[in-house]
Amino acid sequence: QPAECFLTRPEEKEESTAKVKRRRKKKISDILAKSSPKPGVPEDLQKLLNQHFGSKRSVIELEELKLPDSCFLPANDLTHSFSSYLKEICPKWAKLRKNHKEKKSVLMLIVCSSALRCLELIKSMTAFKGDCKVMKLFAKHIKIKEQMHMLENGVIHLGVGTPGRIKALVEQDGLSLNSLKYLILDWNWRDQKLRRMIDIPEIRKETIDLLEMGIIKLCREDSVKLGLF
């Protein structure tokens, strides 16, 4: 009897380890780890919009969501640091920020997938931003009323945040898009699970909603440029 008991144990272990191995193969991170990173290009964003709205919109409505290549800034070829990328796409930043006087609005919006990533990017843009005022536009530990108060009472040059909070600020008239010149999507960065911001369903939807709230229209009018970092 004890011998029988001893024989069944290793079999159970083998079964459970086999199950774990099978599950791991299905993870997105395992597939992504094998593929080499590719920089985001305008077609990627257009494809994303078409996939999202394709079945919900008419042909005429879809035409209005088309972004010509002239709307886009040069793509990040994955060799740039964040500061060097911003310097390349916006060489006249010093002059722009000097002339910016409008409250409740920013010159540049940088959209990321999480609060932690926002903080990382704020630290890494020191060489670019100079003495301009940067504001954190995410929900973690910061109430929306505080952000609205800061935007209303001071001149902010640069906003770094998550699409959900930026969208909420625009909806509640806390953030105006009047002065906006550049919108940068943190497109190529991957989190611990190797997901980009557009691989996370909630972030993807909020990003598309934000673009549709007036950004696409401004891009088509040539007053805002889109960048994929």
User: Of 8-22, 145-159, 196-210, which range is least confident?
Assistant: 8-22
The answer to whether residue 9 scores a pLDDT higher than 80 is: no
- The CATH classification number of 38-228 equals 3.40.50.300
The pLDDT-based confidence of 56 (bands split at 50, 70, 90) is confident
The pLDDT score that the predictor gives to residue 77 is 77
DSSP string for 95-160? HHHHH---TTB-SEEEE-SSHHHHHHHHHHTHHHHTT--EEEE-STT--HHHHHHHHHHS---EEE
User: Of 14-18, 43-47, 128-132, which range is least confident?
Assistant: 14-18
Tell me what the pLDDT averaged over the chain comes to. 86
Q: Where are the domains of the chain?
A: 1-35, 38-228
Which is nearest to 210 in space by CA: 173, 165, 179?
Answer: 165
Provide CB contacts within 8 A for 187, sequence distance 6+: 40, 44, 76, 196, 197, 198, 228, 229
The pLDDT score that the predictor gives to residue 25 is 54
Residues 166, 106: contact at Cβ < 8 Å?
A: no
The pLDDT score that the predictor gives to residue 15 is 54
The pLDDT score that the predictor gives to residue 55 is 78
The full length of the chain comes to 229
The pLDDT-based confidence of 75 (bands split at 50, 70, 90) is confident
pLDDT tens-digit map of 90-111: 999 999 999 999 999 999 999 9
The pLDDT-based confidence of 145 (bands split at 50, 70, 90) is very high
- Mean pLDDT of all residues in 27-49: 73
pTM of the model: 0.80
φ, ψ for residue 186, nearest 5 deg: -75, 70
Provide CB contacts within 8 A for 43, sequence distance 6+: none
Q: Please state, for a pLDDT cut of 90, what percent of the chain lies above it.
A: 60
The pLDDT score that the predictor gives to residue 40 is 81
φ, ψ for residue 185, nearest 5 deg: -95, 130
Provide CB contacts within 8 A for 51, sequence distance 6+: none
More confident residue, 172 or 33: 172
The pLDDT score that the predictor gives to residue 187 is 93
Residue type, 25: K
The pLDDT-based confidence of 19 (bands split at 50, 70, 90) is low
Distance, in Å, from the CA atom of 121 to the CA atom of 196, rounded to the nearest integer, reads: 15
